[in-house]
Structure 1
């Protein structure tokens, strides 16, 4: 869009900072608007003026207006600073991406510096930053700020929250004598202070009185501006503090909501257990909180579920302080939440803030009420596993074929959406066989202690039958075999175009329609009701089909790989039974029973989630029907905008007639920002501290990355870094490197030679499927998608839990993801 079309050409090309309205960002840019806000708050800011974006649009420096404003400043040394419209934003700081010039003196030098600031809008680093932040180049314009130069005794940067740990209880100051350029450009050592409200020794270039003043200023600005701030400051030789900039800290993960409870709280992230890193939509969050609360209550557990940054976190503080449950938490974390969460809990067990509180244990009446039903269900499944499986799959098929009956109006649909999930007889038919399989598999290490290694037990749990996700992937492999005559079409057409053609009925039917009839309610991040299902957007399925069609060696086909894994599992089972009976006969018979029950029931672990998808299918369908009606009434731009409303907000729209468009636009922007987030803390304290930042650092090794072995085996191959499975390309034998994985990712496993993820738990969906395909997997490798490049040769050792990197090669086809651009930023005005 041409900005001259939206800017008022009658606006003066130069505006005094004191006359700027902080809302005039499109005219003066983010930095000038921020300085104007500080001035209006009564803070001490150097005088100056702004050359507006309209002046740049006209193409010439407004020399007469600039000269007059410069002379009003005294025509002495000034700082000339870029102020782009996409700068100092809540989610993009653009620190150091555009130019600043200090101690500029003389009219001609000022004109030259203004022109250079304009030109810096289009530098390679600024363009790369915009692309990483998802900001379109043609929407950004540049203004320029000119301010009277401060002659500083000391200068630096103040963060009102700790940018390394995320703690909102600490402020951080970096300072240096003079201009402070050592602070912002990294050219020299700076004095570093962490302020937590306690007294500081006299050291460095700042006195304790000045540190106290900086902390107070930071607290004041954070309170008045509504977010943690990144503040540039300078003390002149008279001891006067000048503020040169204040903008939101853009790198912080959101802090937990206030709980109103005493002491620090511990929150552990639930999403990565499901192999889900992306944020949950507001509609999805409402549904998931309800489902999780119901599921945990059925097992007698009480965990407060909170939304932090669009992710699900559980408050485990009470369990940490309970004298009994705290001893079981470490093991629970290892099995269900992964090694990263386990390390955090182990660390906090020695933290006096989470010390056990005698007498705090409460009688769990819900668990006692559930116990008889649980015991009966588990014994029934152990006694007759085939009948248990029949009940599970019979219930799933009944849910799939349940007739659709929807009212015609939003007012009638809304109560159906709001209804809590009903716990009927079908729930028990699925739950207890699934729980039995999980418990039997979990009991094997203790039962086979000193008899079998972890790798041998994992071998028994590979190639597992009766797993709905494995059956789904193998069904898609069969579709790929049937699609052979259409190979050129499927390999030569982008997945999104194939998806559009399929939905329009323009593709030949090679079995995909039948596949989507059964599995079309699946997708990546499928537990979020706000995410489109494969039946709606089948592009990821076509991407997977293209990968399968590249497998030309029948012996490397996933069906044969699965058969080989199953054969190895059966052979290992027989060997372990013989070994156990030889050493301890009675225990050996018991081990044989549990090993076989594991093979018969452990594969059901995916069935519970799969059955729950039908309730989500119905809720999503009804939400979209309501959305379509609201769109027709002009209350939504698109029917699926409804996913950005919570259920109470939706009721206010349907019943009360509220206009939700402003809320939807704000939520959509926040959701897009969170989709770009590469890392999500696995555990947070209530003040926002990312607990992993406080753990002892691992010993550095330039070539070996350490995680947790989750599927036995060793594989060497080219890495393929994938962050979105929608259009992923994975050659047969490549090592899939991903931030996480859920069932929507598992079709990629069929061609992969190994798996590396940044999150996960040994018993989560992704590692489970990897074991059953017989491919090695290493999970919870911090920064794997950044440290490993597509095309790089790596070795995955699922037994050792390591990923070894070969020396980097010069390969033009390697992944060139730049991520965030790191660059120094000039300290303007100091």
Structure 2
């Protein structure tokens, strides 16, 4: 089929007519007013021959007057790829010859630089895309534009937005002229601009109909003709919106804070990882006496903080509590929320019962004992902690008597029910003590020492398992000897494959992975491979280390210099403070010394938790292999896209989950491409940061938060995947976020810039301990800064200058 009338097109014909034509056909079938037209199908494009006779016949049936010729690719107007403006549109086409030429131009635009780059960015195969072309009667409008049925700037689903201009709508979508912008939020409007209040009401009603029909917010192109008729030219999903929070059945509005960036993780979590993390975080918060519901929004972990925000007792300290782990961006959004009258304190508090109050008192008692013991005898606390971690490691390994998937499932369920409170206390409270000891001096020394001086005292911190891991890899790099060129010249993924196949020379990698192979990027997600399974990132980091030729820039030397500088800074700071404020000076000195003994333990808790997580993943993959053999999954790691309840149904009832897995994998791939994740969302979808006042900055200056003092100028290196990162000595590492799996890159970087984070989070902590400047919470850093641009990072002032 080469030519088909738009009135005959259905939503199921995407592969034949493309996304845009399928959407128009659906509008016509719904009774909406769409200019009459036809579609030259993708089948004609596949054959590579313009069916001129059929096209001319269809054109004559339209009346042979002026027409609009628009592309409709088979990968266009999809839920995660709009292709807006990527292919050509030709307006006011008259005559058969001009029409045939316009169709050829649309076909050619499929291979334009912009369309090709767009597909590559979304991992869409070029050879799988075909081009259909829409031909419609030309509407000559008095006004035209775009209607968004949700506010595309803030994400709010309770608002619509309209951009309009006199004349053709191309001036709006091309950005070629100033437009009239309207936000439809239920407030009555005067007749200003090119649209009247009646026009806006008609657009709002149309938007509601279309959104109800298609089931998601829509991006609608429209035109109003001279006779005041509203024509619809296109309706497609708004692909940029972050998913809406799930309904909770609780009073609205609600506020949700993103928890993943605390772990340096913005990528979506697999369904199995989400279930595991929700249980772990809920239990951890409960141990601290805090009850927060964890929800899945777009595959990310969000906590519902509404009840805490509306509680008279907790709201007073909510912003301060976020300083340690959540950081300044979260503090800013929560300050805004607390000032919102909709989140005013409610009478009756949060309704905490006597049982919960007693549990909180018990938790508080254990916390006081654990923190005081750690501060009083930090060396003994460290010994107890690492003994508990070793016991956890040994205990996490499953016994050899597991034979069936049912056996393995019973083991996982039994471990979910086990109470490890004693081990948790031995690990948790020294960490909390160290974090408090590091955080409190800033208040005690206000007016005496600036944050940069305190950060300097916290550099080169001992007892950090992540630092020890990075330095172990550095020592491995120093001993590769004759294999240096092999490791530098061979792609990391090829080296990883050779290591796993036992065909790589022995460079000590097996020993390294034996100690640290349970780690990896996004390691808190049980659905993500560990380094032991895929050591590609480790070999990439190893190659970066081998490029360090100046012994003085070796990570071990940098770490030792940072430690020495920290001890010197501590002595000078304590001496100065005790002269000016004797009591505060003594207290601050005590806390900073305890911080140097305990704050490095911050990474140990997560490191310990990865042992049982590694074994959990191993058992799940073995169950997945059994289900694959039974024809219930396509491959073993499909099990990571199920919940444990669904696994139970597959194991005991032979339930086939292949369809669900395929659907969830598609959503996961789509979310992996998302470049930014809201720090906080309201229940109506509003990204709270988008409604905050914009921070003022000088031209070329990006404002963030200083997290590690120092000033460095160097070429930027924007990294999105550490597995393939090439970081030269002296590069400024720019990333959306970092977790411990990224830290091997720090050993060659001169400075760190991230879009998220908290001062005490993993990345900034490690940056301080290596003595490299770090600025965190720089909005859109990975888009504003490009690789190779010269930048200056001032970790004391918290600014990045792009030269």
TM-score normalised according to structure 2 size = 0.96
Task: Please report how far the alpha carbon of residue 54 of structure 1 lies from its aligned counterpart in structure 2 after TM superposition.
Answer: 1.1
Task: Please report how far the alpha carbon of residue 272 of structure 1 lies from its aligned counterpart in structure 2 after TM superposition.
Answer: 1.1
Q: Secondary structure at the match of 1:509?
A: coil
Deviations 1:41-84 (A, max 9, x none): 22222221111111112222112222222222222222111111
> What is aligned with 1:695?
692
Structure 2 gap ranges (5+): none
Q: Secondary structure at the match of 1:90?
A: coil
Deviations 1:635-678 (A, max 9, x none): 22221122112223322322332222222222212211211111
Q: Is the 8 A contact 1:484 1:549 kept in 2?
A: no
Q: Secondary structure at the match of 1:250?
A: coil
User: d(CA) in 2 for partners of 1:150 and 1:650?
Assistant: 55
> What is aligned with 1:601?
598
User: d(CA) in 2 for partners of 1:286 and 1:452?
Assistant: 44
Distance 1:207 1:585, change over 3 A: closer
User: d(CA) in 1 for partners of 2:498 and 2:417?
Assistant: 36
Q: Secondary structure at the match of 1:167?
A: coil
> What is aligned with 2:418?
422
User: d(CA) in 2 for partners of 1:278 and 1:576?
Assistant: 40
Q: Secondary structure at the match of 1:794?
A: strand
> What is aligned with 1:727?
724
Distance 1:41 1:657, change over 3 A: farther
Deviations 1:150-207 (A, max 9, x none): 2323221110001111111100111222323321222222221110122111112222
Q: Is the 8 A contact 1:158 1:231 kept in 2?
A: yes
Indicate yes or no: 2:390 matched with 1:397. yes
Indicate yes or no: 2:788 matched with 1:795. no
What is the correspondence of 1:270-285 to structure 2 with a 5 Å cutoff?
270-285=259-274
Indicate yes or no: 2:7 matched with 1:13. no
> What is aligned with 1:378?
371
Distance 1:421 1:462, change over 3 A: farther
Task: Please report how far the alpha carbon of residue 526 of structure 1 lies from its aligned counterpart in structure 2 after TM superposition.
Answer: 0.5
Indicate yes or no: 2:31 matched with 1:42. yes
Indicate yes or no: 2:325 matched with 1:336. yes
User: d(CA) in 2 for partners of 1:448 and 1:422?
Assistant: 44
Larger mean Cα displacement after TM superposition, 185-194 or 530-539: 185-194
Larger mean Cα displacement after TM superposition, 224-233 or 694-703: 694-703
> What is aligned with 2:54?
65
Indicate yes or no: 2:614 matched with 1:617. yes
Indicate yes or no: 2:182 matched with 1:193. yes
Q: Secondary structure at the match of 2:416?
A: coil
User: d(CA) in 2 for partners of 1:81 and 1:581?
Assistant: 75
Larger mean Cα displacement after TM superposition, 402-411 or 745-754: 402-411
Distance 1:209 1:426, change over 3 A: same
RMSD: 1.6
User: d(CA) in 2 for partners of 1:76 and 1:282?
Assistant: 54
User: d(CA) in 1 for partners of 2:462 and 2:38?
Assistant: 72
Q: Is the 8 A contact 2:254 2:306 kept in 1?
A: yes
Q: Which has the higher contact order (CA 8 A, sep 6+)?
A: 1
Q: Secondary structure at the match of 1:239?
A: coil
Q: 2:448 aligns with which of 439, 446, 451?
A: 451
> What is aligned with 1:411?
406
Q: Is the 8 A contact 2:393 2:612 kept in 1?
A: no
Q: Secondary structure at the match of 1:172?
A: strand
Task: Please report how far the alpha carbon of residue 686 of structure 1 lies from its aligned counterpart in structure 2 after TM superposition.
Answer: 0.9
User: d(CA) in 2 for partners of 1:228 and 1:643?
Assistant: 30
Distance 1:780 1:57, change over 3 A: same
Q: Secondary structure at the match of 1:24?
A: helix
Distance 1:588 1:236, change over 3 A: closer
Q: 2:252 aligns with which of 253, 259, 263?
A: 263
> What is aligned with 1:820?
none
Q: Secondary structure at the match of 2:601?
A: helix
Q: 2:708 aligns with which of 685, 702, 711?
A: 711
Deviations 1:592-634 (A, max 9, x none): 3222211111111111111111121111111111111122122
What is the correspondence of 1:128-167 to structure 2 with a 5 Å cutoff?
128-167=117-156
Q: Is the 8 A contact 2:709 2:773 kept in 1?
A: yes
What is the correspondence of 1:111-122 to structure 2 with a 5 Å cutoff?
111-122=100-111
Q: 1:574 aligns with which of 540, 549, 571?
A: 571
> What is aligned with 1:669?
666
> What is aligned with 1:465?
462
Q: Is the 8 A contact 1:712 1:799 kept in 2?
A: yes
What is the correspondence of 1:487-502 to structure 2 with a 5 Å cutoff?
487-502=484-499
Q: Is the 8 A contact 1:421 1:615 kept in 2?
A: no
User: d(CA) in 2 for partners of 1:222 and 1:322?
Assistant: 36
User: d(CA) in 2 for partners of 1:590 and 1:60?
Assistant: 83
User: d(CA) in 1 for partners of 2:740 and 2:14?
Assistant: 44
Task: Please report how far the alpha carbon of residue 700 of structure 1 lies from its aligned counterpart in structure 2 after TM superposition.
Answer: 4.2
Q: Secondary structure at the match of 1:655?
A: helix
Distance 1:116 1:275, change over 3 A: same
User: d(CA) in 2 for partners of 1:706 and 1:485?
Assistant: 46
User: d(CA) in 2 for partners of 1:508 and 1:146?
Assistant: 63
Q: Secondary structure at the match of 2:157?
A: coil
Structure 1 gap ranges (5+): 1-11, 807-830
TM-score normalised according to structure 1 size = 0.93
Q: Is the 8 A contact 1:291 1:421 kept in 2?
A: no
Q: Is the 8 A contact 1:161 1:170 kept in 2?
A: yes
Deviations 1:285-318 (A, max 9, x none): 1111010011111111011111111111111112
Q: Secondary structure at the match of 2:12?
A: coil
Indicate yes or no: 2:679 matched with 1:686. no
Q: 2:381 aligns with which of 372, 377, 388?
A: 388
Q: Is the 8 A contact 2:122 2:673 kept in 1?
A: yes
What is the correspondence of 1:315-354 to structure 2 with a 5 Å cutoff?
315-354=304-343
Task: Please report how far the alpha carbon of residue 512 of structure 1 lies from its aligned counterpart in structure 2 after TM superposition.
Answer: 1.5
Larger mean Cα displacement after TM superposition, 677-686 or 63-72: 63-72
Distance 1:434 1:188, change over 3 A: same
User: d(CA) in 2 for partners of 1:83 and 1:375?
Assistant: 65
Task: Please report how far the alpha carbon of residue 361 of structure 1 lies from its aligned counterpart in structure 2 after TM superposition.
Answer: 4.5
Deviations 1:495-533 (A, max 9, x none): 001101111111222222111111101001111111100
Indicate yes or no: 2:768 matched with 1:780. no
Aligned length: 795
User: d(CA) in 2 for partners of 1:420 and 1:634?
Assistant: 28
> What is aligned with 2:275?
286
